[in-house]
Amino acid sequence: MIVTRFAPSPTGRLHVGNLRTALHNWLLARKGDDEGQGKFLLRIDDTDAERSREEYVTAIREDLAWLGLSPDAEFRQSQRLDLYENAFAKLKDAGRVYPAYETVQELELKRKIALGRGLPPIYDRGALSMSEEERAAKEAEGIAPHWRFKLDHDELIAWEDGVRGPQKFDPAQLSDPVIRRADGSWLYMLPSVIDDMDMRVTDVLRGEDHVSNTAVQVQMFTALHAAGVGPDHCAVIDSFPRFGHTALLVGKEGKLSKRLGSLSCEALREQGIEPEAILSLLARLGTSQPVEPIADRAALIEGFDLESFGRAPAKFDEAELERLNAAIVHQMDYAQVRDRLPEGIDEAGWHAIRPNLSHVGEAAELWRLVTGPIEQPAFSDEDRAFLAEAAQVLTWGDNPWGALTSTLKERTGRKGKPLFLPLRQALTGMDHGPDMGELLPLIGEDEARARLERAAR
């Protein structure tokens, strides 16, 4: 069984980058195996009590539900602290975590010195050389330690990445990561690994900015297994999950845009973007597959393939999202939008105005062409005479627009734009818009004649 997870921190609203990660993990889980037995988990990473907000937890749930990415189970790290304490104690006994006492200023000075000497700015493991007396002296001064995970420098870190291919890291070129603050609170790295083991996560898909984190976490998986942490039959591959790191989103200007971070799910919803448009774009962005308006989620699931992902940055274009949204709206049946339409728009009305909509929310403005009032342009004397004749010959039947234009073409000799444009302007006040063959029956005979007569004055 494939088990994936989406693990946001509730410190803000979900934006397009988060949504893309959530979607990829949902698609992989839903594709699952031949019997569709995959699981998609939501894990709220709320160990940072100072920055986490309950309102954002609620918003994350609402955003995923709106997109149709409902998880099979939900967990909260703040409710799993005992699990982390137990694992931490075992790592401590195994000598894989150690206390460090440097201040932020001292660490920054070390970093600058290393850079000045042309060395990589990694932690020098100074805390490991401290004696028990030195540690006791620090704590006597009221200096509480933070805790680091001790990387095994003798073990090359390697894994087969689902997107990037074979990955290898020399642990000696990485800093021993801080896993716990001096106040006892947890940072991201270790609890995430403990949870992935406990929840039997088999696949982790995330952005390429996490590649170096994965290198560290691979050793954490190994150390935890060796220390006896996790289920005996933990559902992971070779002691840790399969990893895939996708290229990050960039803007049209070619670099990561601050604007992308402000494109929250909430903002997109307020702009009238349909969930299907967002999913259609984010599912295929950065892959070799064409980005198309796909309303059928089963088709997105079937087409999801990590082998189609490229290494080049994935360019997010708001204009492309708008084009997809319009195409999705044009596919939507009346039953899908009935509750979102202004009163009075029936199935025929929706069918008439739908091709001219970019967002469902624009329906009210176009429906005004039927209900009025409309503002007509000024017409030439010749066009006013033409419209007066139109009012006289207007008849009603199965196809009033076709009958009207055919009669006028025969009686006046007009055709093309001189025939159709004045009629559209008089009846709708616009130069273009919905198909008049569908719109005119909705306007009705009396109102249509009244508009033609008013335009002819």
- How far apart CA 101 and CA 107 sit, in angstroms, is 10
The amino acid occupying position 194 is I
Cα 6 to Cα 167, 195, 207, 250, 299: the distances in Å are 23, 12, 12, 21, 22
CB 236 within 8 Å of CB 197: yes
Chain centroid to CA 270: how far?
Answer: 15
Residue 95 falls in which region: left (phi positive, over 0), alpha (psi -120 to 50) or beta: left
CB 273 within 8 Å of CB 325: yes
- How far apart CA 254 and CA 315 sit, in angstroms, is 8
CB 67 within 8 Å of CB 275: yes
* 256: Cβ contacts below 8 Å, ≥ 6 apart: 248, 249, 250
The amino acid occupying position 303 is G
User: Is position 315 annotated in a ligand binding site?
Assistant: no
CB 48 within 8 Å of CB 11: yes
* In the block, residue with structure tokens 């009958």: 403
Closest CA to 353 of 444, 437, 293, 433: 433
CB 218 within 8 Å of CB 240: yes
* 197: Cβ contacts below 8 Å, ≥ 6 apart: 221, 224, 225, 229, 230, 231, 234, 236
* 313: Cβ contacts below 8 Å, ≥ 6 apart: 247, 248, 249, 250, 254, 286
- How far apart CA 286 and CA 265 sit, in angstroms, is 20
CB 11 within 8 Å of CB 56: yes
List beta partners, residue 244: 205
Please report, in range form, the residues annotated as the binding site: 258
Please report, in range form, the residues annotated as the binding site for ATP: 258
